[in-house]
Structure 1
Amino acid sequence: MKKISTFLLLLSLSAPWAWAQTNEANTEAQKQPDPQQLLADLRADLTGLSAQFVQYELGSQGEQIDPNSGMVWMQSPAQFRWHYLQPIEQLIVADGDNVWVYDEDLEQVTVKQQDNELNPIYVIINDEKSQQHYDIRYETQEAGHDWISLTPKNRSEDVKTVWLALADDVVKQIKVHNHFDQTMVFEFTEIKRNPDLTGGLFQFVPPEGVDVIKAVDE
């Protein structure tokens, strides 16, 4: 009986503190930007974009592992072109039906059906796919960037969480974290909204003489 009375006393003493903490948390939540509105502003009138990018894996000490750089073009709702320039040239083209990967040095093209619904690129250019496949929440603001997280509604080995850094209605950075505790980072600069995307930019015809390999999903 004494133990119960002591517990009730502690509970009664802590109740105002708990209420204050809850109230403070609710007030803080009210101050946070709406992640859905941030994404809506990002995609407002967006039909396409282009940017320079740097891609690397984030090491345990925050170091950049295997950095790559190049140019990227995207067009709503599902087309993109990634052109890696450094340290090795490689081209990836998604035409809406298939994804083509061209390794010029190997004289080889790999093609597979474009069916990865969790591709982080869709977060930028396809509102329907991101809303359908991700739970979206606001995380924090840091160095003038609003960070939001997107967690797959269905478990995926490739994607555990996608983090977006937003500023000035564009994506400045994407972090893709998987279930193996690996984080891939994409940093974007020289971003242009709705650039003049030339015809054929998102089409790929294998060069004559290269090997074409059809990838089979496991």
Structure 2
Amino acid sequence: MTLSTKVKSTTAKQKMMSGALTGVLMTTLGVAAPMVALTQSATAAPADNLVAAKRLNKLLTNTKSMTANFTQTTKGATNGTFKGSMSVQRPNNFRWETKSPSEQLIVANGNSMWIYDKDLEQATKQGVDSQVGNTPALLLSGDPSKIDKNFKVTQPYENKNYYVLYPKTGDASFKNLSVSFSGGKPVMMVLNDTLGQTTSIKFNGIKLNPSVSSSQFNFTPPKGVDVINQ
């Protein structure tokens, strides 16, 4: 296999995985239960939906900004593991930078979202419309008060900060969304798309509510990069 073929193969694989990731950020985050949930007692009582929604809202409201490293693993039609760093800041600012085994950057600032593939020397720009309020982006960077409006929120174990969200609209491209907290910090998300793929995202080195420069959420395509507007 030539170097060029390897680069194309790696990039194509990452683009497939970034489709799921872009869903986490903007449109299609869905999840299966995180591993932490599987260790809990089956006798633990669940919280009712209203209580669960209020508890999740409080946790997310306290997350005004966040930086962390991540490990993202996808299993299904596409298998692979990617590592990198991320930062979010309310309202609607998100930066997700994959560093290994190949490089990709996704940046959203409430007005636009850029997806930059370094290997392909290609940057794609997408508009961010009001529909972002109906997507999982609101979990980490949007308006927590909209969660109950857009999702049915469940807390399977009342004494554990683990939540599963189900979209209320019938046209969502995901089945459900789960997020786990430890010490008030979101530590894990797992997504389960409609094609049967499962993507887990584990956060480490988390810093809650740090000062984050607004420049983190802006992107200017490097010289010579092909720009695609969608």
TM-score bracket, shorter-length normalisation: 0.7 to 0.9
Q: Which has the higher strand share?
A: 1
- Report the residue type matching 1:47 in the other structure: K
Please point out which of 35, 38, 52 is paired with 2:52.
35
Q: Does 1:148 align with 2:159?
A: no
> Hey, what does 1:136 align to over in structure 2?
153
Q: TM-score, normalised by structure 2?
A: 0.71
2:163 is equivalent to residue 124 of structure 1:
no
* Distance across 2 between alignment mates of 1:148 and 1:136: 7
Structure 2 residue 109 is matched with structure 1 residue 95: yes
Identity of aligned residues (%): 28
- Report the alpha carbon displacement of residue 34 of structure 1 after superposing the two structures with TM: 3.5
Aligned residues: 184
2:98 to 75, 84, 94: 84
Equivalent residue, structure 1, for 2:214: 199
Task: Tell me what 2:184 maps to.
Answer: 169
Looking at structure 2, the residues matched to 189 and 33 of structure 1 have their Cα atoms a distance apart, in angstroms, of 30
4+ long deviations beyond 4 Å: 29-33
Residue of structure 2 equivalent to 1:22: none
Shift of residue 170, structure 1, vs aligned partner? 1.2
- The whole-number CA distance in structure 2 between the counterparts of 1:86 and 1:214 is 26
Q: Distance in 2 between matches of 1:162 and 1:31?
A: 17
Relative distance call for 1:53 and 1:29 in structure 2 (3 A) is closer
Specify the alignment match of 1:187 in structure 2.
202
Query: Normalising to structure 1: TM-score of the pair?
Result: 0.74
Give the conservation status (yes or no) of the 8 Å contact 2:56–2:163: no
Residues 157 and 178 of structure 1 are in contact (CA less than 8 Å); yes or no, is this contact kept in structure 2? Answer: no
Look up the match of 1:158: 173
Q: State the shift of 1:59 in Å.
A: 4.9
Specify the alignment match of 1:75 in structure 2: 89
SS of the equivalent of 1:140 reads coil
AA of the residue aligned to 1:152? P
Relative to 1, partners in 2 of residues 1:155 and 1:176: Cα closer, same or farther, differing over 3 Å?
farther
Contact 1:145 1:167 in 2 (8 A): no
Paired letter, 1:46: T
The Cα offsets for residues 23-73 of structure 1, whole Å up to 9 and x where unpaired, read as: xxxx9456999422432332344321101101111459xxx9311110000
Counterparts of 1:113 and 1:163 in 2: how far apart (Å)?
26
Distance 2:210 2:120 in 1: 32
- CA distance in 1: counterparts of 2:172 and 2:56, whole angstroms: 25
Which is greater in Rg? 1
Per-residue deviation at 1:160? 1.1
Q: Counterparts of 1:165 and 1:47 in 2: how far apart (Å)?
A: 17
Asked whether the 8 Å contact 1:123–1:129 carries over to 2, the reply is no
Whole-angstrom distance in 2 between the partners of 1:189 and 1:85: 15
1:43 aligned counterpart, secondary structure: helix
Q: 2:124 aligns with which of 86, 96, 110?
A: 110
Kindly indicate whether the alpha-carbon contact (under 8 Å) linking 1:149 and 1:162 is maintained by their aligned counterparts in 2: yes
Query: Would the alpha carbon gap of residues 129 and 114 (structure 1) be closer, same or farther in structure 2, given more than 3 Å must change?
Result: farther
Aligned partners of 1:30 and 1:197: how far apart in 2? 34
Cα distance 1:128–1:175, how it changes in 2: closer, same or farther (>3 A)? same
The CA deviation at 1:147 is 1.8
